[in-house]
Amino acid sequence: MSAPKTVTIKELARRAGVSHSTVSRALNNHPSVAAETAARIQQLARELHYVPSATARTLKTNRSRVLGVIVNRIADPFYSEVLGGLQSVAYRSGYSVFISAFEYDPERELNLMRTLLARQVDALLLFSSTFPARRLEQLGALPVPVLFIHNRATDVLPHSIYHNDRSGTRALTRHLLALGHRRIAYGGNVRGGLLHQQRRQGVVDALEELGLALPPAYDLLAPDGQMRSGAVLAEQLLALAERPTAIICFNDMQALGLMQALQSAGLRIPDDISVAGFDDIPLAAFLYPSLTTYHQPQWELGELAAQAALFRLGEAVPDPRAAFDVITLEGRLMVRNSTAPPPRS
């Protein structure tokens, strides 16, 4: 290896024959430093590959230009898409992002928040947090803005971004009703919190419009929003005396697992049973059969979340919605091949 001596502002000052204060000002284009001195110092800085220590700067200025992000799972196609948009906006404004996953573990989520706060992030972005605002008090007075995106706890929170889940599943249910389905099930998510409640309610809404109800036997619950939960749903579904002709899942991942399990049990989709998801993850269009679902703009959600955070930090951002206290995004129905009229029998 070569000499790992990092060149500091003092070293630079020594070589330039000025004090380190002058160097600091020169590099930050402070007006009170002579133009030629500044140019000379900047030139020297380039030659020596000087990189200012963001750490020291953060310590001094109390601003790190770092966003802390906590999601459920990075590898989840939904979140990875969101993170892409988020990081991209952050980059443009010169921010970096800590990304961490709590993997369905509230303990870990709290831990991660502590860590990120200790690292002095300028803002905290919590996706699908299961935290009731009350538990946040465990962290003391929060020194930075905290944004909740798709919050699952049922509190009303100051800065948050929601998605119109209820009208989403309502649209999906109407679509199925229009196809002629009358026996429609909903596959819930125990850990879904508010998201689960809203999505379930949308189904109930649409059924009620036709004077129908969601029978308890069709009001299902899976342990989470991952693929394996789809298999759990399939089991419950196959055990029913009178099987539904259609099912709306909590999200696409669940639907994916469900379709796979149903297909390997010999059922044909959509001929024997229609399946719908929620989110429209990028692969939804490429499944077999391609998945009818409700589209959430994921990349855009990430961009918006980043902008909302940056706005709170006084940065200029293009999207005017970033200034809102509570943002609600609208999605749209994506009809594909996993839904069709119910079987004749």
Partner DNA sequence: ACGATTGCTGCAATCGTGTGCAAATCTAAG
Partner DNA sequence: CTTAGATTTGCACACGATTGCAGCAATCGT
Residues in contact with DNA by CB under 7 A are 6, 8-10, 17-22, 24-25, 27-28, 32-35, 37-38, 51-53, 56-57, 59-62
Look at residue 117 and give the partner it binds from DNA, its own copies, none, a contact being a CB closer than 5 to 8 Å depending on partner kind: its own copies
**Dihedral angle, C-alpha 115, 118, 121, 127, nearest 10 °:** 30
Q: Closest approach of Cβ 31 to DNA, in Å?
A: 7
Q: What are the phi and psi torsion angles at 253 (to 5°)? A: -60, -45
- Residue closer to DNA by CB (options 2, 61) is 61
**Residue 302 C-beta: closest distance to its own copies, Å:** 9
- The answer to whether the CB of 250 falls within 8 A of the CB of 222 is yes
Other C-beta atoms within 10 Å of 124: how many?
A: 23
Closest distance to its own copies from the beta carbon of 305 (Å): 14
Least gap, CB of 145 to DNA (angstroms): 18
β-partners of residue 161 are 149, 327
Hey, is 84 helix, strand or coil?
A: helix
Shortest Cβ distance from residue 69 to its own copies (Å)? Answer: 9
Q: Which does 327 bind (CB under 5 to 8 A by kind): DNA, its own copies, none?
A: none
DSSP class of 19:
-
Where does residue 44 rank: exposed (0-12), middle (13-18), buried (19+ CB within 10 A)?
Answer: middle
Nearer CB in complex with its own copies: 101/234: 101
Q: Where along the sequence are the contacts to its own copies (CB under 8 A)?
A: 1-7, 48-49, 51-56, 58-59, 64, 66, 73-77, 79-81, 83-84, 87-88, 91, 94, 96-101, 103, 108, 112, 114-120, 138-143, 256, 260, 282-283, 286-290, 299
The option from its own copies, DNA, none interacting with 73 (CB < 5 to 8 A, set by class) reads its own copies
In the bound state with DNA, the residue whose beta carbon lies nearer, of 4 and 216, is 4
The C-alpha atoms of residue 285 and residue 335 are separated, in whole angstroms, by: 10
- Cβ–Cβ < 8 Å for 193, 152: yes
317 φ/ψ sector (left φ>0, alpha ψ -120 to 50, else beta): beta
| Smallest separation, CB 89 to DNA (Å) | 24
- Using CB distances below 5 to 8 A depending on partner kind, what does residue 9 bind out of its own copies, DNA, none? DNA
Please answer whether residues 203 and 210 qualify as being in contact, where contact means their C-beta atoms are separated by less than 8 angstroms: no
Which residue, 38 or 67, is less far from DNA as judged by CB?
38
With beta carbons less than 8 A apart as the criterion, state whether 237 and 244 touch. yes
